[in-house]
Amino acid sequence: MDVRNEVQIPAGDVQLTADLRVPPEPAGVVLFAHGSGSSRRSPRNVAVAQVLNRSALCTVLVDLLSPAEEAVDARTRQLRFDIGLLAGRLAAIVDWLATAGPCGSAPIGLFGASTGAAAALVSAAERPDVVRAVVSRGGRPDLAGAALDRVTAPTLLLVGGLDDQVLTLNEQAREALPESAELTVVPGAGHLFEEPGALAQVSDAAATWFTDHLG
C-alpha cells in the first residue's frame, strides 16, 4: 500500500508544503513543478502522479511559493514567471530528496507543466549529477533560456497538436537540448489536454519515460 504524507521541505528561507506519496519499493522519485497560477493540487498533475505511483514511482507535488508569496502573486502575477526563483526552489528540493531520503535512494526525475517546465529544465542543468530525467507537459522550455544548452538529462517534451504557439516553442527548444531529448505531439489536444483521452496519453508517456530512465 502506498504511503501518503504532507511534508514541509526547507528551501532557503522558506518552508514549502508538499504532498509525498511513496509506493512500496519505489524505482524512482518524480518531483512536480506546476504551471503558472496552479498548485500542488492541480487535478491534471494529480492524475499524472497517480499513474506514476502505479508504476512504482514515488511522487512529490509541491507548492513552490509560500502562502505569503502566493498572496502577492495572486495580485501581481509576477512570481509565477520568476523562473530563477522557481528553479532555485526546485534545486533545493532535489537536494532535500537526495539527502533526507524520503523515497530511499531512488533516482530523481522532474515533471514540469507550463512555466514549471522551464524551472525544471534550469534545475536539471544546475543538478546534472542528480536529476536523471525530465518530462515537460505543455511546457515553456524557451523560458529556460541559456540553461537549455546545459541540460544533460534525457528530456521528453509533450505538446498538444492544437497548441500551435507552444508547439513551435518546443520545436525550437528541442534543437537546443541534448540528442536524448524527444518531442511527442498528442494529436487533437490543446494546451491543457482536456480532450478525452489526451491526459491519459500524457500520463502513460511520462510513466514510460521515467521508468526507462530512472528504473
pLDDT single digits (tens) 105-157? 899 999 999 999 999 999 999 999 999 999 999 999 999 999 999 999 999 99
pLDDT at residue 202 greater than cutoff 90: yes
Cα distance between residue 29 and residue 176, in whole Å: 26
Q: Are the beta carbons of 136 and 158 closer than 8 angstroms?
A: yes
* pLDDT at site 204: 98
* pLDDT at site 208: 98
Cα distance between residue 67 and residue 23, in whole Å: 29
Looking up cell 507535488 gives 61
Task: Tell me the pTM.
Answer: 0.94
Options 1.20.120.160, 3.10.105.10, 1.10.150.170, 3.40.50.1820; CATH for 3-214 is 3.40.50.1820
Q: Are the beta carbons of 188 and 201 closer than 8 angstroms?
A: no
* pLDDT at site 213: 96
Sign, Cα dihedral of 120, 100, 108, 187: negative
Structural element, H or E, at residue 49: helix 43-54
CA angle 50-137-99, nearest 5°?
Answer: 60
Phi, psi of 18 (to 5 degrees): -140, 150
**Residue 158 banded pLDDT, cuts 50, 70, 90:** very high
Looking up cell 500520463 gives 203
pLDDT at residue 1 greater than cutoff 60: no
Instruction: Give tens-digit pLDDT for 36-53.
Output: 666 788 888 999 999 999
